[in-house]
Amino acid sequence: MVSRLVSAAIIAVYFLSSAQAEIYKTVDAQGHVMFSSQAPVGSDQKKVDKIELHEGYSNKIQITQTGSVSYCGSIALPVRDVGSTNFYGTVVNDEKMWRQESARIEKQLSQYQRYARPETTAYNNDNLTKLAEYQCASDWAQQQRSKAKEERLALNRKSDGLNAYLKELTDGQVSVCGEEPVYSSSDRLFDDKRRSWQRCTADYRVKMTDIQADLKKADQQLLDIQKIGAAQ
């Protein structure tokens, strides 16, 4: 994952109990936003308008699992079904939406943070929680990018092995059974020759059909992985 290059801003936070605390907002090179109670090390700090929050707000969102679906808070993450050939395309589309929603919430917070009324306190709290969920989901998407690189290498190795085996079978078929008979109107034995060739090559042809299907599936999966690479 790209190392985080952060710029930071101190947000002075006042809870309803009037106890004062500070939350640090960091933005990485890709525009991801995080909130932490710890000051980022080595970053330039700039104080901004305060945001009023009520107690119970948490900026720590952990991925949870329910059945086969993983969640970042209320956000359901894409599920990869067995044999799926559009998983990474879904990740790309969802990540784009998560970034757009994060930008929208940030804009709303910048508009509301100058108010200190109770109703804006709850509003800001809900938005920051949602922002943390989008951050969790975006981090998960970045992890999928790293996995995609590893999977692409594995699929390339698999395709190379399948192609080598396919060539071996093709050469073996020709060596044992000869070339497929070519029809000729003058060859009265053509039908017998073809039936004989088909019996000889039956096992070869079944194996080659299976390999070609596996190669097609691997190619589709590689095309899916290219979607997440092209979106970087």
Q: For tokens 């939350």, name the residue.
A: 23
User: Given this model, what pLDDT does residue 120 score?
Assistant: 58
List 66's β-bridge partners, or say none.
Answer: 69
User: Given this model, what pLDDT does residue 84 score?
Assistant: 73
Q: Is the pLDDT confidence value at 16 over 70? A: no
Q: C-alpha distances in angstroms, 46 versus 22, 27, 39, 115, 146? A: 13, 13, 12, 20, 33
Radius of gyration of the chain (CA): 29
26 band by pLDDT with thresholds 50, 70 and 90: low
Q: Where are the beta strands (DSSP E) in 31-74?
A: 33-36, 45-52, 63-66, 69-72
Q: C-alpha distances in angstroms, 9 versus 46, 48, 201? A: 5, 7, 72
Q: How confident is the model over 183-191, as a mean pLDDT? A: 90
Tokens of 42: 């080595």
- How far apart are alpha carbons 91 and 224 in whole angstroms? 10
Q: Is the pLDDT confidence value at 58 over 60? A: no
Q: What is the pLDDT of residues 81-137, one digit of tens each?
A: 776 778 888 999 999 999 999 888 888 777 765 554 555 566 677 888 888 899 899
- Tell me phi and psi for residue 89, to 5 degrees: -60, -40
For residue 1, count CB atoms less than 10 angstroms from its CB and return exposed for 0-12, middle for 13-18, buried for 19 or more. Answer: exposed
Name the residue ranges covered by the structural domains of the chain: 153-230
